[in-house]
Amino acid sequence: MQANIVTLPGDGIGVEVVAEGVKVLQAVATKFGHTFTFENHLIGGCAIDATGEPLPASTLEACKRADAVLLGAVGGPKWDDPAAKVRPEQGLLGLRKGLALYANLRPVQIFPQLRDASPLRPERLEGVDLVVVRELTGGLYFGPRKEATPGDMTAYDTMLYADFEVERIARKAFELARLRRKKVTSVDKANVLAASRLWRRVITAIAADYPDVMLEHMLVDAAAMHLMRRPADFDVIVTENMFGDILTDEASMLSGSMGMLASASLGEGRNGVYEPIHGSAPDIAGKGIANPLATILSVALLLRYSLGLETEAAAVEKAVADVVAAGYRTKDIYTEGAKLVNTQEMGDAVIATLG
């Protein structure tokens, strides 16, 4: 197979972890006889510095032409003014909108050897294997808004959803559940929000097309509690944009570190954006201690969903599992007696295990 992959390292540790992801993709290409070409482009704070825009037109056009996009992280103290008119995170929102990527998949899987890295008691992690399907292009982040001004100190953001937006994300969730344990938990705030009542009504209607999949509705505050209390009960969680953003960061604590969780942002076509769920971590940028495993696991999702290479994706995931089982640890997941390695050494260990 020949594939063109756009890399968007972005800011902070994004540069370091994407480099390891590219190394793994190159190793996969060599092992399985593929040809992957890479184009590097700007996004986020570094793009603002270079062009004045968080998502230059050239970056978006390159992503549209690509077979897949591997993204690092954006942001940092230099661009940390939330009142600024141009901000790094606008690059992410623009990329998702520009590529029509409405579904964000975030798997949460527990590596047995990392149970001690989680703040939860080990018995609560038994059997945890869930996926959050987050709607990505609607809701509060994209609805009508008003900024406060000196003359009018009121502001608002609007959670706006249309039925078709809920329907398409619901179908993604139900189709995924059919390949797993056949259970969907829809998370909303239907006791308060009109948008959530629409969400619940549409989800319920779509469920009729999937009689083999169990549907349960759960309010977002209850979901947040049960993610910590009984996480193994969840299979596929589907929810709107902001709720998904918050719940997946919470769920990262099940695995012990954000450095372990991958994500895939998908639309109707095969192109997608693949990225670790963590941020740019400016406090550790340039120190060589960032955990690249979330990015490498995102590479596995890229191989699976955009390139259709299931065998290769499974090989990468097995290599990560084997490396963790062998005791390799970056600082964020280190426990006494493990093999402490830096970012590059962790990537090298995965590649050596991949063979």
Q: Are residues 125 and 243 in the same domain?
A: yes
CA distance 110 to 68: 27
pLDDT digits (tens, 9 = 90+) for 63-105: 999 999 999 999 999 998 877 889 999 999 999 999 999 999 9
- Among residues 255, 277, 293, the one where a domain terminates is 255
Q: Does 106 fall in a domain?
A: no
Q: Does 245 fall in a domain?
A: yes
Q: What is the pLDDT of residue 166?
A: 98
pLDDT digits (tens, 9 = 90+) for 344-353: 999 999 999 9
Q: What is the pLDDT of residue 329?
A: 96
Gyration radius of the chain over CA positions: 20
Active site residues: 141, 189, 221, 245, 249
> Which range among 199-203, 266-270, 330-334 has the greatest average pLDDT?
199-203
Q: What is the pLDDT of residue 159?
A: 97
pLDDT digits (tens, 9 = 90+) for 114-160: 887 788 888 888 899 999 999 999 999 999 999 998 999 999 999 99
Question: Domain limits at 156?
Answer: 119-255
CB-based contacts of 97, cutoff 8 Å, min separation 6 = 137, 142
Residue 38: pLDDT band with limits 50, 70, 90? very high
Say if residue 305's pLDDT is above 90.
Answer: yes
Q: Are residues 150 and 268 in the same domain?
A: no
Instruction: Read off the CATH number of the domain in which 247 is found.
Output: 3.40.718.10
Q: Are residues 139 and 193 in the same domain?
A: yes
pLDDT digits (tens, 9 = 90+) for 271-287: 999 999 999 999 999 99
Q: Does 151 fall in a domain?
A: yes
Q: Are residues 167 and 202 in the same domain?
A: yes
β-pairing, 145-146 with 339-340? Answer: unpaired
Q: Does 109 fall in a domain?
A: no
Say if residue 22's pLDDT is above 90.
Answer: yes
Q: Does 108 fall in a domain?
A: no
Q: Are residues 221 and 310 in the same domain?
A: no
Q: Does 50 fall in a domain?
A: yes
User: Which 8-state DSSP code applies to residue 13?
Assistant: T
- Among residues 255, 279, 306, the one where a domain terminates is 255
pLDDT digits (tens, 9 = 90+) for 155-197: 999 999 999 999 999 999 999 999 999 999 999 999 999 999 9
Q: How many domains does one find in the chain?
A: 2
Instruction: Pick the more confident residue, 110 or 30.
Output: 30
Q: Are residues 11 and 92 in the same domain?
A: yes
- Burial class, 219, CB count within 10 angstroms (exposed 0-12 / middle 13-18 / buried 19+): middle
Say if residue 256's pLDDT is above 90.
Answer: no
Q: Are residues 164 and 285 in the same domain?
A: no
Q: Are residues 170 and 210 in the same domain?
A: yes
Q: Does 231 fall in a domain?
A: yes
Q: Are residues 96 and 129 in the same domain?
A: no
- On whether the CB atoms of residues 43 and 74 are closer than 8 A, the answer is yes
Q: Are residues 125 and 216 in the same domain?
A: yes
DSSP structure string for 115-177: GGGSSS-GGGGTT-EEEEEEE-SSGGGTS-EE--BTTB---EE-----HHHHHHHHHHHHHHH
- Among residues 216, 234, 255, the one where a domain terminates is 255
Say if residue 109's pLDDT is above 90.
Answer: no
Structure tokens at 132: 């959050």
Q: Are residues 57 and 147 in the same domain?
A: no
- H or E stretch at 91: helix 89-98
Q: Does 297 fall in a domain?
A: yes
Q: Are residues 195 and 96 in the same domain?
A: no
